[in-house]
Chain A
């Protein structure tokens, strides 16, 4: 069986090591003997949702986010929203996460519109949240990452939070939650990159993708000593440094 990964705006939005998420998907899919491949989708490229088994979308600098938002204002954005509604497994980080929702309202100027696939809205905040984060997820256990955002995200009733913040600030620094869950999509602010040190999430994305293609969601186990040692070291470091 094969796994085709669609990397949305991999050239335009690729800061803070979010590429590590794609490397993790490849590594753990190939570890199971899958033929895994990545296709980068850029501004102006056509999006054919049926080509992909799993999607990834990372964070970007402001300038690039504006051109990406514009790129999604037609059929492309509608198709992506429909794919997410149809259960496409997807991970979106930071800027990608924000644009999955209603959009991003800066301090000045017009709202940067999103695709309304997730019931979330984001706006500019007064401070930048920077630091290690530990998030307790009912689904995935303790997740580790690094947040670096001044945008605040608020969840509507149609989505669930990804988890509760143990260390860090999360979506908005107020309600104690981080990220959003909707169908098979995860959106959050966790760089780090997220997937390498949280292999249970990587495996869930791969398993869900295979299940949708008629395979078994349960993957054969892979050794993950290096992953779990790195994960535990970050939990320790985050607790040591605190908020």
Chain B
């Protein structure tokens, strides 16, 4: 017998599918947010109903940076462990987008996927948790995001706090304890807590980057001391005043070794055994090492075999626009998206290489747009440590609507004017693509770092030339 709510759910799922299919036929994208919105109009609690059907429950992943990569890697690990996974893989991470993805991937009736992986927007997090009632919550980090859109970090922490404080004790909360704000939130939770972080020797930062936040104790207001700073404000922190410090870690990476510019080897301690196991990860960058560690914490909480995790990290295919490789008429382009100052800092650090000789060699293109989805304010360019890039004096092409702001930032960072090419700054990305073909010899390598809409525009220009798929799922 189908209940009234059940009937509404069927109608909502049917509508979701019909609209999604229609959108995909027009070639305008993956199409989950709009159909999801219609579906949630018809059945407002559709996500609650669908999540309740999952035998292994749901996992909700939140944080300012790394959500898409983390959920994809987690979803791959679950698949390797033999589970059927429903996941808002396109990165549409508000309630309507998540609902749309679930309604699309789950059968209207009968048995479906075993487990749900949900990437949740910071502001949508409380509602997503309330509706999906996850068995595992994974909190990655809280970095300064686009402030003109999201408000201040304290606001995000304050909307998360009541959720964390009222979790069911059966829930497992996995937190990055290197982030003092998250470690503090977890202290107040009745849930079972799994804490992860880094314990690597060396490879840390000499000082806190300028873009970093949360260098102050959220409890007593004193400035933290760090035994090691790994990334932005993440590290082994200690409050000199109230003597709070990074809690003991359940899972840690004790070693992160780059394997050329393309891969890295991570030593994971604490699971499956204390001495450690090596994981090979098919993407570079310390931020990706953190993402893999977060996935390990969730995999541990879910009781997956570590082999499933290892298989997922070794074969990992990053999402579109996250270190994606593209062949442009014989030139090798690597495309990467950065959405906030910490994202930029980490990509620049990766370009430099963790060890001498492991850095990128070629032309760097940086494209900065100032549309709504990028953040209208580009002041943050002055918070990013472009000096680390300027030091190597790689040739740089400034692009995007605010390309001239970037050119000025690079000039003040110390880039030699003869290395700075602002000829296509402010021009459409079709021009940027032409310019790259004209100025880069065949076989040349180009690293392209872009804000969100700059990525959409560049991909559209590349799609015109048939070198990438015509639409881009985030």
Q: How far is the CA of A197 from the CA of B408 in the complex (A)?
A: 8
A41 within 8 A of B: no
Query: B382 contacts the other chain (Cβ, under 8 Å)?
Result: yes
| A residues in contact with B380, CB < 8 Å | 16-17
A229 within 8 A of B: yes
- A67 is contacted by which of B221, B409, B425 (Cβ under 8 Å)? B221
Is there a chain A Cβ closer than 8 Å to B412's Cβ?
yes
Per the 8 Å Cβ criterion, residues 352-375 of B in contact with A are 370
Distance between Cα atoms of A14 and B383 in the complex (Å): 9
Question: B408 near A196 (CB under 8 angstroms)?
Answer: yes
List chain A residues, Cβ under 8 A from B144. 15
Contact between chains at A237 and B148 (CB < 8 Å):
no
Contact A230 B405 (CB under 8 A): yes
Residue of A at shortest CB range from B381? Answer: A17
Q: Measured between C-beta atoms, what is the minimum distance from B443 to chain A in Å?
A: 31
Name the residue among B153, B154, B382, B404 with the largest chain A CB count within 10 angstroms. B382
A19 to B378 CA separation, bound complex (whole angstroms): 13
Q: Give A14 to B384 CA distance when docked, in angstroms.
A: 12
Chain B residues with CB below 8 A from A27, complex form: 412
CB of A227 within 8 Å of the partner chain? yes
Could you say which of A130, A193, A230 contacts B376, with CB atoms under 8 Å apart?
A130
Of B401, B407, B412, the contact of A23 (CB 8 Å cutoff): B412
Judge whether B377 and A226 touch: CB under 8 Å.
no
Tell me the bound Cα distance from A16 to B341 in angstroms.
10
CA distance A233 to B426 in the complex (A): 8
Q: Are A226 and B154 in contact (CB under 8 A)?
A: no
In whole Å, how far is A236's beta carbon from the nearest beta carbon of chain B? 9
A23 to B154, CA, bound (A): 28
Residue of B nearest to A196 (CB): B408
Shortest Cβ distance from B413 into A: residue: A23
Interface residues of B in 404-422 (CB under 8 A from A): 404-405, 407-409, 411-412, 417, 420, 422
A-B contact count (CB 8 A): 88
| Min CB–CB distance B385 → chain A (angstroms) | 10
Interfacial residues of chain A within 117-152, with CB under 8 A of chain B in the complex: 130-132, 146, 148
Contact residue range for chain B? 20 to 34
When the two chains form their complex, are residues A226 and B148 in contact, meaning their CB atoms are under 8 A apart?
A: no
Contact A230 B407 (CB under 8 A): yes
Q: Which residues of B contact A234 (CB under 8 A)?
A: 405
B residues 199-257 touching A (CB-CB < 8 Å): 210, 215-216, 221, 223
The answer to whether A237 and B370 have CB atoms under 8 Å apart is yes
Answer yes or no: B147 CB below 8 A from chain A CBs.
Answer: yes
Q: Which residue of B lies closest to A14 (CB)?
A: B210
Closest to B380 in A: A17
Assembled-state Cα–Cα distance A54/B47 (Å): 58
Shortest C-beta distance, B411 to chain A (Å), equals 5
Say if the beta carbon of B379 comes within 8 Å of chain A.
yes
Supposing A14-B210, A19-B210, A148-B147 touch, asked if A227 and B379 sit within 8 A by C-beta, the answer is no
- The answer, among A42, A63, A148, A229, for a CB contact under 8 Å with B377, is A148
Q: How far is the CA of A147 from the CA of B409 in the complex (A)?
A: 19
Residues of A within 8 A of B426 (CB): 233
Name the distance in Å between B225's Cβ and chain A's nearest Cβ: 13
CB closest residue in chain B, given A199: B408
Say if the beta carbon of B188 comes within 8 Å of chain A: no
- Interface: B262 (CB within 8 A): no
Contact of B408 among A64, A130, A191, A227 (CB under 8 A): A227
A148 to B408, CA, bound (A): 22
Choice from A16, A61, A148 contacting B154 with Cβ under 8 Å:
A61
Q: Are A130 and B379 in contact (CB under 8 A)?
A: no
Asked if A192 is an interface residue, CB under 8 A from chain B, the answer is: yes
Please name the residue on chain B nearest to A16 by beta carbon.
Answer: B379
Of chain B, the residue at the smallest CB distance from A23 is B412
Does B152 have its Cβ within 8 Å of any Cβ on chain A? yes
Please tell me if A62 contacts chain B, counting CB pairs below 8 Å: yes
A20 interface residue, CB < 8 Å from B?
A: yes
Contact A62 B152 (CB under 8 A): yes
Q: Are B152 and A130 in contact, CB atoms less than 8 angstroms apart?
A: no
B465 CB → nearest A CB, Å: 27
A229 close to B154 (CB less than 8 A): no
Which of B215, B223, B379, B417 touches A193 (beta carbons < 8 Å)?
B379
Report chain A residues within 8 Å CB of B401. Answer: 237
A177 to chain B, nearest CB (A): 22
Chain B residues packing against A (C-beta within 8 Å): 144, 147-148, 152-154, 210, 215-216, 221, 223, 370, 376-383, 401-402, 404-405, 407-409, 411-412, 417, 420, 422, 425-426
Q: A146-B379, A230-B407 are in contact. List 10 more A-B contacts (CB 8 A).
A: A15-B147, A17-B381, A20-B381, A24-B412, A61-B152, A196-B408, A229-B422, A230-B405, A233-B404, A237-B401
